[in-house]
Amino acid sequence: MLYFLQQLINGLTLGMMYGLIAIGYSMVYGIIGMINFAHGEIYMIGAFISIIAFLLLGVLGVTWIPLALLLVLLIAMAFTAAYGWTVERLAYRPLRGSFRLAPLISAIGMSIFLQNYVQLLQGANVKAVPPIITGGWILAEQDGFAVRISNVQIMIILLTLVLMAIFSWIIANTPLGRAQRACEQDLKMAALCGVNVDRTISLTFVMGAALAAVAGLMATLYYGVVDFFIGFLAGIKAFTAAVLGGIGSIPGAMLGGLLLGLVEAFWSGYFTTEYKDVAAFSILVIVLIFLPTGLLGKPEIEKV
Amino acid sequence: MLEVQDVHTHYGHIEALKGVTLEVRRGEIVTIIGANGAGKTTLLMTICGDPRASAGRIRLDGEDITHLPTWEIVRRGVAHAPEGRRIFPRMTVLENLKMGATVNGEQWFEEDVEQVFALFPRLKERLHQRGGTLSGGEQQMLAIGRALMARPRLLLLDEPSLGLAPNLVQQIFRAIVEINRSRGLTILLVEQNAFQALRIAHRGYVLATGEVVLQGTGRELLANPEVRAAYLEGGH
């Protein structure tokens, strides 16, 4: 039972990060119907910017951890968002109205480019970050086995919940969120209502990238190691999460992320760590075969 | 107010409009009638910049809008209740109306919404219902209401009577006349229901295979033997 509880905590933490990345995939797919395969790299860039920001703040003498964390969070979100915006502007917008596969190919190219760009700039070796948030809590103890939740895990779970609340509120209540939903439901009609569609799409990339940056920061704090290749696996996992939840659906992305995190944690805990990726991707295959619209997705047909 | 000069529109290699010229003057209801595939819907969409005219000029109050993006055209006062109504299916009636008011933001929202309800009281009862669950008639009312929320100078209507029961058709046409009379709103109306459309229109154009083949006042066209033979008798 305690062991189960421990895996639950680990799985939730992992799932929160997957969910944050998955939202970026889902929103972009919802509006322009493309899979942004460079999104995993955006997350990786978010992680690198977090490290650089930590180092800079250290040099500047900002050592009070809560303040440093807040600043790093804001810096990472802002700069990563700029990357997201630029990627859309350079690699996808010129191809709008082109054949359906074109932006997809461009996205794969962008993904390879960004990996190599970071590799050249930062080097190929793994960057280790000393633990910044330390400590934790023992929730229960029995027969020498203790269920622990670290402060990093608490921070990850709480921060994700707060961001999700803010983000859902934006989508549900602001003119920007309404415009995004309108674009998602009927791009042409949104334009006929006077929505600046290009700007709305840009802002969608910006929001998705900002959330991925937060996941990048969390990964930095949680794992303590970052390299130029982490975006690949995380990206595909988050994509799996988005498909599992129903691509195009934002609550679906979060739910898919959580489920995927839990599956991975339980698989690692009860079977074998080596095959946890196999378990994750088996889900992708099974969902695509038996439930192509995902858990919360809607079928394509919606014409009057 | 609106001048369309020798406009051509292509879908790939197919020429859907082959040099259409027409004019809509302030305060008029102008109707475009014609058979299926004549290019009526294409013409309205081309005025909105999607698809873009491949040749010719479109002017709104003297300003050339031919090459503006759709939302810029809408911001200049053209509102469209398009073919198939295109209600946002997973938004409530209220949110659909808010989308219509995108160009104005919140500033006249309460006032304008009341005017839409005065015109279509049914929408008020359905305020928090999702657009996709409305009946065809209600969707049409919402499409027109949504277009009015933009406070347009020119209202484009694409087959507002399509697929509606006769009493609803009457209601929609009465609403169109009412909007035109009471607010002086200029309306360009595309219809297959030629008889109804010509009865309420000041002037009309007959479109056939991408070209204007006839034009005149509503009354003239109603009396025209060719129009009668092709669009009034037989079909309706």
Distance CA B98, CA B105 (A): 8
What is the sign of the dihedral through the CA atoms of B60, B64, B70 and B76?
Answer: negative
- Residues with Cβ within 8 Å of A85's Cβ and at least 6 positions away in sequence, in order, are A202, A205, A206, A209
User: Domain for residue A300, yes or no?
Assistant: no
Q: What angle do CA A47, A49, A54 make, to 5 degrees?
A: 95
Backbone angles phi, psi at A301, to 5 degrees: -70, 120
What mean pLDDT comes out for the span B117-140?
A: 93
Answer whether A201's CB lies under 8 Å from A32's CB.
yes
pLDDT-derived band at A300 (thresholds 50, 70, 90) equals low
Q: Tell whether the model's pLDDT for residue B184 goes beyond 80.
A: yes
pLDDT of residue B234 exceeding 80, the answer is no
**Which residues in A lie closer than 8 A to residue B91 (C-beta atoms)?**
178, 181-182, 185
SS3 B24: strand
The CATH number covering residue A56 comes to: 1.10.3470
Among A180, A181, A192, A298, the residue to mutate for chain B (most B Cβ within 10 A): A192
Q: Which residue has the higher pLDDT, A274 or A195?
A: A195
Phi, psi of B31 (to 5 degrees): -115, 150
- The per-residue pLDDT for A273 is 87
pLDDT exceeds 50 at position B62: yes
Structure tokens that stand for B24 in this block: 């809509």
Size of interface A-B (CB pairs under 8 A): 73
The domains of chain B are located at 1-77+155-164+188-236
Query: Is A87 part of any domain?
Result: yes
This model of the complex carries an ipTM of 0.93
**8 A C-beta contact, residue A242 and residue A29:** yes
Q: Is the pLDDT of residue B235 over 70?
A: no
Contacts of residue B214, Cβ cutoff 8 Å, sequence gap at least 6:
B205, B206, B221, B224, B226, B227
pLDDT tens digits, residue range B135-150? Answer: 999 999 999 999 999 9
Which among B70, B98, B136 is the nearest to A192, CB-wise? B70
Q: Does the pLDDT at position B114 exceed 60?
A: yes
Structural domains counted in chain A: 1
CB contact under 8 A, B146 and A190: no
Q: What is the pLDDT of residues B22-60, one digit of tens each?
A: 999 999 999 999 988 899 999 999 999 989 999 999 999
- For residue B231, the model assigns a pLDDT of 79
Whether the per-residue pLDDT at A304 is higher than 50: the answer is no
Candidates A129, A128, A132, A112; CA nearest to A120 is A112
Structure tokens, B35 = 């058979």
Share of chain A above pLDDT 90, in %: 79
How far is Cα B184 from Cα B178, in angstroms, rounded to an integer? 9
Find, in chain A, the residue whose alpha carbon is nearest to that of B78.
A192
A68: number of CA atoms within 13 Å, CB side?
A: 19
In a domain, A295, yes or no: no
Query: Per the structure block, which two tokens stand in for B92?
Result: 């409530």
pLDDT tens for each residue of A204-225: 999 999 999 999 999 999 999 9
CB neighbour class for A120 (10 Å; exposed up to 12, middle 13-18, buried from 19) = exposed
Length of chain B: 236
Q: List CB contacts (< 8 A) between B71 and chain A.
A: 191, 194-197
Grade residue A303 by pLDDT with cuts at 50, 70 and 90. Answer: very low
CA–CA distances in Å: residue B234 to residues A156, A216, B195, B219: 71, 68, 12, 19
The pLDDT of residue A143 is 85
Q: What rounded mean pLDDT belongs to chain B?
A: 92
- CA-based nearest residue in chain A for residue B135: A304
B 100-119 residues with CB < 8 A to A: 100, 102-103, 105
Per-residue DSSP letters for B148-170? Answer: HTT--SEEEEE-TTTT--HHHHH
Mean pLDDT of A1-29: 94
Confidence of residue B108 (pLDDT cuts 50, 70, 90): very high
Best of B48, B52, B99, B141 to substitute, by most chain A Cβ atoms within 10 angstroms, is B99
Range of the domain at A99: 2-290
Taking the Cβ of residue A185 and every Cβ of chain B, the question of whether any pair is shorter than 8 Å is answered with yes
Structure confidence by residue, pLDDT tens digits, A93-143:
999 888 889 999 999 999 999 999 999 999 999 999 888 888 889 988 888
Give the count of beta carbons closer than 10 Å to the beta carbon of residue B25.
Answer: 12
Give me the pLDDT at residue B8, please.
95
CA-based nearest distance A301→chain B, Å: 11
Asked whether residue A163 is domain-assigned, the answer is: yes
Q: Residue B233: its pLDDT value, please?
A: 66
How far apart CA B5 and CA A292 sit, in angstroms, is 49
* Rounded alpha-carbon distances, angstroms, from residue A216 to A72, B16, B44: 11, 51, 48
Homologous superfamily (CATH) of B1-77+155-164+188-236 is P-loop containing nucleotide triphosphate hydrolases (3.40.50.300)
Mean pLDDT of B161-172: 90
Reported as a single tens digit per residue, the pLDDT across B201-226 is 999 999 999 999 999 999 999 999 88
* Mean pLDDT over the full length of chain A: 93
What confidence score (pLDDT) does residue A302 get?
Answer: 47
Cα–Cα nearest to B160, from B53, B29, B48: B29
3-class state of residue B141 by DSSP: helix
Per-residue confidence (pLDDT) for residue A115, from 0 to 100: 96
